[in-house]
Structure 1
Amino acid sequence: MLIVQVSDIHASPENDHLFRFDQVLNWLTYLQPDVLVITGDLTDGHWQEGYIKIADRLNQQNFPSLVLPGNSDDRCLVRSVWDENKWAHDAQGEALHFIHNIGGIRLIGLDSTIDYKDYGSVTDHLEWLDNQLSDACSPPSLLFMHHHVFASGIPTLDETMCRGLPEMEDLIRRAPSRLLAISSGHVHRPIAGTFAGIPAYICGSVCPANPVWFGTVNAPPANDPPALMVHRYVSKSITNHHVCV
């Protein structure tokens, strides 16, 4: 089972990021994944035509796609372009979560965005997440989010990481269902860490990457090509690959 994650396209009329997204999609014609997950920040500036262009590209692929919003996205526009049935709403009503069972694994998308804020929060969605992880008989799960759940070390990005993490960690540690890993975006740089005792990842970005900068006076240059992740689930075991194209 090959689950591809793409994050942070940030397409707008003023940049070439749709071309960078095309590079990713062209590479995926060789891989032929089972499903593609996009973890937020598809466009900038509430660009409705950008969402339409991305959706058209996804509709041309021979694999399904799942979409989570990020802090730069407009959820109303996302809803207007994609089928409302893609998402599983919680009690808050506005969040665009998803659940997708495929090949013996459950893909959970947790919408961590807050309107008009760069940081995210899971505080209002923990009951929904608890419901997804409360069945010990459910298949192992892979959790996708936009906002990262462990400190990247990049100061400006860590100011906007997810809120409500201590409560989320407690929930995951006591959940009877097996959570294999958490994978997010937002930082524009591939990073690996841990959260609640399980692997946690930050997917690299389609848009130009942020530098490996830890608050020092000088920032190293960043010239990374478009990036993605491949999550390979075979024989009840998962491996996670960072790929540049």
Structure 2
Amino acid sequence: MLIAQLSDIHAAPDNDNLARLHNAIDWLLALQPDVLVVSGDLTDDGWHEGYLAIAGELQRLSCRTHIIPGNADDKAVMCARLPAFARHRAADAMHFCQQLDGVAVIGLDVTVAGESRGDIRLHLPWLKSALSASPQPALLFLHQHLFPSGIAPLDSAMCDGTEELRQLLKTLPFPPLALCSGHVHRPMSATFAGIPAYICGSICPSNPLMLDAQRLPPANDPPALMIHQIRDRRLVSHFVSV
């Protein structure tokens, strides 16, 4: 089972991020993943036409594609213009759960209207139900990151409710294999409640590694994505630059 993850396209009329997405899709065409998850921030500055252009790129792939929104997205427009990939779910949130060959691929919409941060607390009952009903293994996707990246401006807008999520995960007999997010525009990994946690790199130009304001090397990373491979109930996650 190969699950591809793209994040943070941030397409706009005045950037080349659609071309960067096209190159990433070209790479995925050669790999032929079983599922693609796009983990938010598809367009910038309310560019609604960008959703149609992104749909055209995603339709080049033959695999099932799921989208969860990011803080830069307009959920109503996403659902109207990407009906094959994005739909409103419980309580107007765009959650999804797909069972495929014994793998549960779960997407959680943690966006907060008008804010850059996320908040998982309102969605924990839905998540508990999805995880409890799903066979193992499972992968959980969301937009805002769950662990501090060390980049202060972005960590001020990470996902709220992490302690509540930790408590929930401790009660589950079978926690997810990994927690996968975006939002930071840099690839990173850590653990969360003893579970591997990943931040997918971005299709748009990456943020510099702003760990220290006095030491700020430039960033020239190419478009990035992740490939999550599950084989024999084991997960290996790959950071890929295109």
CA contact (8 A) 1:231 1:239 kept: yes
> How far is the alpha carbon of 1:53 from its aligned partner?
0.7
Is 2:105 the counterpart of 1:107?
yes
- Output the CA distance in 2 between the equivalents of 1:238 and 1:180: 7
Give the Cα–Cα distance (whole angstroms) in 1 for the partners of residues 234 and 61 of structure 2.
27
Unaligned stretches of 5+ in structure 2? none
Q: Is the 8 A contact 2:3 2:35 kept in 1?
A: yes
The equivalent residue for 1:30 is: 30
On the 8 A contact 2:79/2:88 being kept in 1, the answer is no
| Larger displacement relative to structure 2 (39-48 or 75-84) | 75-84
Deviation at 1:177, TM superposition (A): 3.0
Q: Which residue in 1 is equivalent to 2:114? A: 116
8 A contact 1:44–1:73 mirrored in 2? yes
Secondary structure of residue in 2 paired with 1:21: helix
Residue identity in the other structure for 1:213: M
**Residue of structure 1 equivalent to 2:177:** 180
Describe how 1:9-158 pairs up with structure 2 within 5 A. 9-83=9-83, 86-87=86-87, 89-90=89-90, 93-135=91-133, 138-158=135-155
CA distance in 1, matches of 2:7, 2:146: 15
Q: Which shifted more, 58-67 or 179-188?
A: 58-67
Q: Please, what is the CA RMSD of the aligned residues?
A: 1.4
1:162 and 1:185 map into 2 onto residues whose CA distance is 11
CA contact 1:46–1:77 (8 Å) conserved in 2: no
SS in structure 2 at match of 1:179: coil
Give the AA of the match of 2:98.
Answer: H
Q: Give the TM-score normalised by the residue count of structure 2.
A: 0.96
2:224 corresponds to which residue?
Answer: 227
**By how many angstroms is 1:215 displaced?**
3.0
Q: Deviation of residue 43 (structure 1)?
A: 0.2
Give the paired residue count. Answer: 242
- State the alpha-carbon separation in 1 of the partners of residues 88 and 69 from structure 2: 13
> Contact 1:88–1:99 (CA<8 Å) still a contact in 2?
no
Write the distance in 2 (CA, Å) between the matches of 1:221 and 1:34: 35
Counterpart CA distance in 2 for 1:146 and 1:133 is 18
Match of residue 192 from structure 1: 189
Deviation at 1:169, TM superposition (A): 0.8
Is 1:240 matched with 2:237? yes
> 2:65, 2:85 within 8 Å by CA — same for their partners in 1?
no
> Could you list the runs of 5+ residues in structure 1 that have no partner in the other structure?
none
Q: How far off is 1:56 after superposition?
A: 1.6
Task: Using structure 1 for the length normalisation, give the TM-score.
Answer: 0.95
Change (3 A) 1:41 1:223: same
Query: Which amino acid in structure 1 is aligned with residue 108 of structure 2?
Result: L
After superposition, the C-alpha distances for 1:78-129 in whole angstroms (9 at most, x for unaligned) are 1101227854722xx2210111111221000000101110011001101111
- What is the distance in 2 between the residues matched to 1:36 and 1:141? 15
- Contact 2:185–2:202, Cα closer than 8 Å, also in 1: yes
Does structure 2 conserve the Cα–Cα contact (< 8 Å) formed by 1:4 and 1:36?
yes
SS at 2:92's partner residue? coil
Residue-by-residue CA offset, 1:143-183 (whole Å, 9 max, x unaligned)? 00000000000111100000011001110111123310000
Where does structure 1 differ by over 4 angstroms across 4 or more consecutive aligned residues? Answer: 84-88
Q: What one-letter code is carried by the residue in structure 1 that aligns with 2:41?
A: D
What is the rounded CA distance, in whole Å, between the counterparts of 2:86 and 2:110 in structure 1?
A: 17
- Return the alpha-carbon distance in structure 2 between the equivalents of residues 43 and 200 of structure 1: 25
